[in-house]
Structure 1
Amino acid sequence: MLDKRYQIFISTSGREMQPERMILAQTLVGMGFFSWGLEQRTPLSTALARRQIDDCDYVIMLLGSQYGEQSVSGVGYMHLEYIYAVTKQKPIIVFMHDEPAARDSSLHDQKPELREKFSEFRKSLQHDVDQVFTYRSLRDLEMAVRLNMPQMLERYPVSGWVRPQNTQLLHDEIDQLKTKIEQLETEVGKREVDPFLSLPKVSMHEFFAFEYRMHAYQDGNFKELKIQKKLTWAQLLGILGSMFVHPTPEEYFSKCINDYLNDTGLEDARLEMPRAHAIARSQINIRALHSIKMQMRQNDWIIQSGRDDRQRMLWQLTSKGQKLLESNLLNKSQASEQKSWH
């Protein structure tokens, strides 16, 4: 195995994020990453930040409760670094505080216009960045980094950095992988049966049972709940189908269904916490998500459709899935399912 390292550029609003930045940097170093970035910004430091972004493999945006110091144009330095990273097509991951308003008042912008800019910037990151994760404490942040950075390496593979003495090992590994790919392609070509055909097809009215987690809020406190839920395949196709009308990155499977669970999970939470008034951070079990994806493929509702310019796997509805989505079959199946539950 090659001794490969990755360079991470960390962007924050400034000094008030120093505790979080220190935890983030220490965690990354412990995981084998190199990190850099600038806490104190000036017009002269902008060029240095851009060079660092050019040279980095990944960009982390660490957002607390401040928009931060602004450039002469009125745009925050952190905001400028984000815009530049997007233009350079750098893989971006965001760690933001789950409830900025709950942070100490000294950690907030004092000017109303800056607070408004912070709110808009936060909404922009939530809407435009694929990988956004929230935290409430420094421990939360550390665990979020440990859990999600390895997934970034898988979803957005980059060349990274290898010690010079290991370059021959790199070439040897490339040759071995090429040989293995040729062998696998030959084997696949000889097979008459797709390995996924061993999965039986399902009907639209059948239920799929799965587990998901959420944070439920009641009486000023929150509790993490494990929820057992059932949805019909008609419902699942209805939830996911519209997202994949056009070729869409694979990670939108989890984003789409987790958004649905966040929107609808309050009723589930109230079965255990009757006075729950809000939920957040709903997340489907990853094995269940994989089963849903493979079952939809087996039923010929979705199909792989290549990769985008960031090498992300793309999925798209098949013509069969499109017809089901456009027909009344989903609505009828969902209506009958709802009646059976009430």
Structure 2
Amino acid sequence: MEKRYQVFVSSTYADLKDERQKVIQALMQLDCIPSGMELFPAMDEEQFAFIKRVIDDCDYYLLIIGGRYGSLSENGVSYTEQEYDYAISKGMKVLALIHGSPDTIALGKSERDPSSMAKLEAFRKKVSTGRLVKFWKDAHELPAIVALSLPQTIKTYPAIGWIRADRAANEDVLSELNTARRQIEELKSQVNENSKEFSPVVGDIAGLQEDFVLKGTYWHGQRTHVWQVQMSWRDIFITIGPYLMQTPAADAAKTYLTREAFRRFNFPGSRIYMDDQVFQTVALQLKALGLVKIDVRSHENGSSIAFWSSTPAGEKLTLEGRLIRSTSAE
């Protein structure tokens, strides 16, 4: 049965943007599902609790170490190291990619504080002890390292993985489905009778040019505030359309939309969240407009996760809205 493995990509953020992007692209080419918190560069304890839940759903842990130790938590340990420690405590297989020549890293991407430098060196030694690591010097080396190392890790240490819900059927599931079908047939007459008494009517749904208010909360000035932005359904979809090419999980799609909507709010802040009921309305509306396909996949541990992708109509609208037109005269 075809499986896709979910890989958590852990690293510091600002200094390793290019490296993360190349690793994520390599993972997608390997038909893996990349996960990571690059969308939350400003880390806090609440977000770290969410990260641990994401790691729980992953099959492998990929760590990239460059020239920075990273933001510190309240206990003085970087969030990157805490992610690593948590993955190790869960017994996950780790693929560590460590910069082989830290002295050559640009000053702007290196630690300057002696304390942080010492913690980084200790972290490098901890990761390198008792496991095979891969060393790199340039971001362009990373895709090849991942392409060679991860399949071998998967072969040697097979994990649970993810499968599509419609491919997860076995004899027990089929038996349950047949039982359910019989029950459905028995209830059809009752449903038909009930529908005569109660027939909900759905009016015309809002079109692409009509507006909707996105809202949520953010942190600024030592307290929580409410933000809201009015956008057309066309703008909402075009905002996240390009990201749907990567078939993101629903949480990632929500993060993409939250981040871009808050930019329009044009006010400084952190810990930015979108009201979940608002996001669920967005999901249903875009699905009803025929722009988004939501595919629920089951994990063998019993959990499930929804992935977003564009329909053909959605891809066409994304291209129409995001491509740069020529300004030269014909």
Give TM-score scaled by structure 2 length: 0.50
